[in-house]
Amino acid sequence: MPDFPYPRLRRFPDVEAPSLQAWDATDELLVARALSAAADRGLSGSAITVIGDGYGALTLPLLAAGLAGIRVHQDLVTGRRALERNAAELGITGCAAHELDEELLHDARLVLLQLPKGLAELEEIADAVARWAAPDVVLLAGGRVKHMTPAQNEVLARFFGLVQPQRAERKSRLIVVADPLPLPERPPFPVSAAHPEFGLTLCAHGGAFAGERIDIGTRVLLEAMRERSAELAALSRRDGFTAVDLGCGTGALAASLALAVPEARVIATDRSAAAVRSARDTMSVNGVADRVTVALGDAGSAIPSGSVDLILLNPPFHLGASVHEGAGRRLIDAAARLLRPGGEVWTVFNSHLDHRRALSAAVGRTEQLTRTPKFTVTRSVRR
């Protein structure tokens, strides 16, 4: 097989920067090992599943090598769109996108995995592979050595009899995993936890940020919403009032608003499939599923411009394992696009970030509502 043109891969529509690229050495090592394993075992592409492919650097080289029919799961919708764009650019076809479910893994004999950042996400993936793949499945997991921990091996060992780390190469390491163990009848996710101080119960799948907990930034914004509930109620009396929880995670902000303002039309959107599944469960358990629409999307791209009266925003400041403000700035720009004139965005962010200046420039007049030693909450009014 000719060398695959990895440098032609792009991250778009995800954040792009000189310090961010669409593949790494782990992708290349996983692909090389997978091609060897597929040849040795006589596997077709339909027996191969790829999980956690960032932008196509795992799936597309295998397809280019003739392994058509690969099933692939990417948590982020931006990654899914990037894979589609990269495939079109390179003239490659032959894969099928799936959610993390039985259809993704049924009878799979070789699974490739870019190790996720969180142990809970790894646990849900390991359970899914052991539960639904073929009994002779081999899972090839890999990551950058600086991000790998013994705890990852321990999680995998709860689901498989063989967990065999390989020698590190080019600052990456592969783990060969096989021999699925017997499992309980019920999968370990979703999990849930009650938060009586806010009258909420949160549900979470493994890949959802903060799990079933309320992260400290969201907690500060929830407290500000409670303290200024009269102002939110007044805003909600606008004709056709619509609110958006932009980057909703497990849905704490959307559920809280729906409970506090029963007449509100609320949309909760996130680019993570795990977050969306979690938020839907959260709306159901809190009895607001009929009033909150939960959707997978990239920075509210499916919501019409100038159609929203209130946006609740807790923007991320990481892109995968990298600290980068680009994802947060994309959401701030999205908020400016979505708001009607006079509409408001309530934002919580780490106080050291320069988001207040960005909000003022993109949205309009921005005032501080509250500040803790770590977080700032602002309200910006669309000019």
pLDDT of residue 294: 98
Residue of 340, 320, 337 lying closest to 329 (CA atoms): 337
pLDDT of residue 81: 97
Given a cut of 90, whether residue 326 has pLDDT beyond it is: no
pLDDT of residue 274: 98
Mean pLDDT of the chain: 95
pLDDT of residue 323: 47
Given a cut of 90, whether residue 325 has pLDDT beyond it is: no
The second-level CATH assignment, the architecture, of 6-180 is 3-Layer(aba) Sandwich (3.40)
Given a cut of 70, whether residue 346 has pLDDT beyond it is: yes
Q: Which amino acid is at 175?
A: I
Residue of 32, 28, 2, 4 lying closest to 170 (CA atoms): 28
Instruction: Read off the pTM.
Output: 0.94
| Domain edges within the chain | 6-180, 191-381
Please give the Cα distance from 298 to 81 (Å, whole number).
10
pLDDT of residue 94: 94
Average the pLDDT over each of 156-160, 327-331, 338-342 and give the range with the smallest value. 327-331
**317: pLDDT confidence band, cut at 50, 70 and 90?**
low
Given a cut of 90, whether residue 382 has pLDDT beyond it is: yes
Each residue's pLDDT tens digit, 43-83? 999 999 999 999 999 999 999 999 999 999 999 999 999 99
Residues 6+ apart with CB under 8 A from 18: none
Given a cut of 80, whether residue 373 has pLDDT beyond it is: yes
CATH of domain 191-381: 3.40.50.150
Q: Which whole number is the average pLDDT over 215-231?
A: 96
Given a cut of 80, whether residue 9 has pLDDT beyond it is: yes
